Amino acid sequence: MPKTPDYFSGKTIVITGAGSGIGRATALIFAREGANVVCADINGAGVTETVEQVNAKSGQALALTIDVTKRAAVEDMVQLAIDGFGSVQFLFNSAGAAVRRSKFLDIDDDLFDRTFDLNVKGTFYAMQAVLPHMLKNQFGVIVNMGSMTHRRGGPGSGVHYAAAKGAVVTMTMGVAREFATQGIRALSISPGPIDTAFQAAAATTPEMAEQMLNDVPMQRFGKPEEIGELVLFMCSDACAFMTADTVYVNGGGGWR
């Protein structure tokens, strides 16, 4: 929560991957705090549903069907956000996925490229698109979605995904340090298993789901809202000295 009452009122956040899961939960949390929410997702129906839920709570939201792997589309996303609400203070790059599971020796060029296009380039394009605007205003907070897998390496099924998320965490650190004196903060979140459609797809068998759960000392999966509240804190004036870090949210899992 922010230190200042109504801190988010009238400010604008752009959220990629807002059509479901953590992205949608975060959109609803920022709307609760009075922020304008630009909801972007390749899933047009999903992002429209998110905006309908925001509007039902009397929030101000804009739905954009965007493929974050396309630089021009991401640049349009940021420009539409600025045109619609005047300025953008916050960016949450939630869009990402493992694309599909694969043993290391079976990872081909197509899978590797699509995984990096979505997770790394999508984050890279959005940061490059919004940073000139934030630098002009000498204020901005960027939160990127990492993953606990970047510490484990994803052996057996997700080395490509773990490597991509490792790149996101490193890129976040670099951006944070490069622009730290210019009013910009950049952070990442590295969740363990969260109860989303993405997590359900990752747990391809009951045995896999049980193994994931056994890795969590709290013996439960996280909730999307628990990540969304962390994004809110990171963007708030209660967190003004924090930048360049990734926060591990995993119910006590020892994957560090």
Structure confidence by residue, pLDDT tens digits, 73-121: 999 999 999 999 999 999 999 999 999 999 999 999 999 999 999 999 9
What is the band of 57 on the pLDDT scale with cuts at 50, 70, 90? confident
Amino acid at position 191, single letter = P
Q: Is 189 helix (H, G, I), strand (E, B) or coil?
A: strand
Tell me whether residue 51 is in a domain: yes
pLDDT one-digit tens code per residue, 127-152: 999 999 999 999 999 999 999 999 98
Catalytic residue check, 125: no
Q: Higher pLDDT residue, 255 or 149?
A: 149
CA distances from 157 to 2, 50, 106, 161, 214 (A): 39, 31, 10, 9, 18
Q: What is the model's pLDDT at position 201?
A: 55
CATH number for 202: 3.40.50.720
Tokens at 185, concatenated: 């903060």
Q: Is 231 helix (H, G, I), strand (E, B) or coil?
A: helix
Which range of residues forms the domain containing residue 111? Answer: 12-248
Other CB atoms within 10 Å distance of the CB of residue 112:
16
For range 198-218, the mean pLDDT: 71
Give the whole-angstrom CA distance, residue 254 versus residue 256. Answer: 6
Tokens at 150, concatenated: 């970047």
Give the whole-angstrom CA distance, residue 229 versus residue 235. Answer: 10
Instruction: Answer positive or negative: Cα dihedral of 16, 22, 28, 31.
Output: negative
Catalytic residue among 7, 125, 161, 248: 161
pLDDT one-digit tens code per residue, 176-200: 999 999 999 999 999 989 998 655 5
Total structural domains within the chain: 1
Tell me whether residue 142 is in a domain: yes
Tell me whether residue 5 is in a domain: no
Tell me whether residue 2 is in a domain: no
Tell me whether residue 6 is in a domain: no
Tell me whether residue 55 is in a domain: yes
Amino acid at position 205, single letter = T
Give the whole-angstrom CA distance, residue 4 versus residue 147. Answer: 30
Tell me whether residue 256 is in a domain: no
Best CA proximity match to 162, nearest among 124, 107, 207, 208 = 107
Tell me whether residue 253 is in a domain: no
